[in-house]
Amino acid sequence: MTQTIRPFKKPIYVTRPLLPDLDVFKRQLEHVWESQWLTNNGHQHQLLEQRIVETLRVPHASLFNNGTIALITACQALGLTGEVITTPFTFAATPHVLAWNNLTPVFCDIDPVTMNIDPSKIEALITPRTSAILAVHVFGHPCDVAAIETIAHRHKLKVIYDAAHAFGAELTVTDETSKKLPTKKGIGTFGDITMFSFHATKLFHSGEGGALTFNDPNLKPYIDLLKNFGIKNEDEVILPGINGKMNEIQAALGLVVLDEVQAERRRRQKILARYHHWLTGVPGIEFTKVPSSVTPSYQYFVIRINKQKFGKSRDEVHSEFKNYNIITRKYFYPLCSQYDCYRDLPSASPAQLPVANTIGQQVLSMPFYGGLSLKSVDKICQILLNLR
């Protein structure tokens, strides 16, 4: 049976950047050329920042040259010190941002369903040196924001969310004290500051780029100062800032990509449904279903492979897919707690992180982008099922 399926002629990767029509981008660039203004809060930057506020349904946003510098700046803006509790199941940038701020990452185990930080394990890790929780909405699935808020409140900790995967995700919340109807809230409205990445591999992108979103209006001038060298005016530099500015070419690209995001999401919705059609109920294959309270971002489609039940391990599937020219990714393996720079931390020991270590061996990020045909999804699933 297996031999009858031919490999794909061209490699199929996990993602492909959303590329708008080149003529549309050129027209946008003409505005930039006419203005002769290439960076430093230009017109494109202002337009995009406003549209990000509207699209993400957040009170305030500040654009950045990339998500990592945005997250580094968020730690500075909140004045974090000492230790920050975070997840080992994330991209390298999350703990590295803490290291670049002289903060110690304290790794907390994850929830077996959402794969996000497990709030029930946070409090045991809090010490007098803890200043914040840095949680990640992994693969665009929202964290348990209510539980995290309760803990942060009780221990006077700041909360930062890495929402690099969660562009446009929304959460339906019911305010139990008032008798109001449930309302949808942008994922960027939770915690003190939320970071979004606009890297080319993300659903919405500006080639490279990112943003911070927040509710506190006082943070806006402060964050804008921090990302522009701390320059207050011609005569005054008032703090040691960094260069975190998004330039006009990035912003122009972001503006035209933003127009395509809804259509891309609809395509991905169909692809997701097709994966679910083939893979639901297959023994040893699991994936996180989005609860009805969540509007998903459609950033990734990730499965978990249980070797005992499926018959093949994640690593075997990953390598056998390559024979068919399907290039999947082991997101997130290795765990951040296994990197040489963090493995000696007391919180990094695998014994403390059993769920993350198990899931790190099981996850496989599947091809997932609007340009992927449903026929290709069918073929990828047939190949996977035949591997058993």
Instruction: Summarize as ranges the residues that interact with ligand PLP (CB under 6 A).
Output: 66-68, 90-91, 93-94, 136, 162, 164-165, 197, 199, 210
Nearer to ligand PLP, 337 or 377 (CB): 337
Q: How far apart are CB 232 and ligand PLP at their closest, in Å? A: 27
Q: How far is Cα 83 from Cα 122, in angstroms, rounded to an integer?
A: 13
Q: How far is Cα 363 from Cα 36, in angstroms, rounded to an integer?
A: 47
Given a contact cutoff of 8 angstroms between Cβ atoms, the answer to whether 118 and 110 are in contact is yes
DSSP-based three-state secondary structure for 5? coil
Q: Structure tokens of 27?
A: 């027209």
Q: How far apart are CB 332 and ligand PLP at their closest, in Å? A: 8
- Least Cα distance to 327 among 61, 4, 13 occurs for 13
Nearer to ligand PLP, 94 or 328 (CB): 94
Q: How far is Cα 117 from Cα 365, in angstroms, rounded to an integer?
A: 19
Q: How far apart are CB 165 and ligand PLP at their closest, in Å? A: 6
Q: How far apart are CB 311 and ligand PLP at their closest, in Å? A: 31
Q: How far apart are CB 23 and ligand PLP at their closest, in Å? A: 27
Residue nearest ligand PLP, CB atom distance: 67
**Contacts by 216-225, CB closer than 8 A, 24 or more apart:** 216/60, 216/192, 217/59, 217/60, 219/60, 219/77, 219/193, 220/60, 220/62, 222/77, 223/62, 223/73, 223/74, 223/77, 224/62
Nearer to ligand PLP, 363 or 384 (CB): 363
Given a contact cutoff of 8 angstroms between Cβ atoms, the answer to whether 157 and 126 are in contact is yes
Nearer to ligand PLP, 253 or 383 (CB): 253
CA-to-CA separations, 367 to 6, 110, 151, 168, 299, in angstroms, rounded: 17, 24, 37, 20, 11
Q: Structure tokens of 206?
A: 């500006």
CA-to-CA separations, 230 to 9, 38, 187, 213, 239, in angstroms, rounded: 52, 20, 29, 19, 5
DSSP-based three-state secondary structure for 371? coil
Nearer to ligand PLP, 64 or 324 (CB): 64
Q: How far apart are CB 300 and ligand PLP at their closest, in Å? A: 9
Q: How far apart are CB 182 and ligand PLP at their closest, in Å? A: 28
What is the length of the chain? 388
Nearer to ligand PLP, 136 or 257 (CB): 136
Nearer to ligand PLP, 165 or 274 (CB): 165
Cα torsion 297, 265, 28, 19 to 10°: value is 100
Q: How far apart are CB 66 and ligand PLP at their closest, in Å? A: 4
Nearer to ligand PLP, 365 or 379 (CB): 365
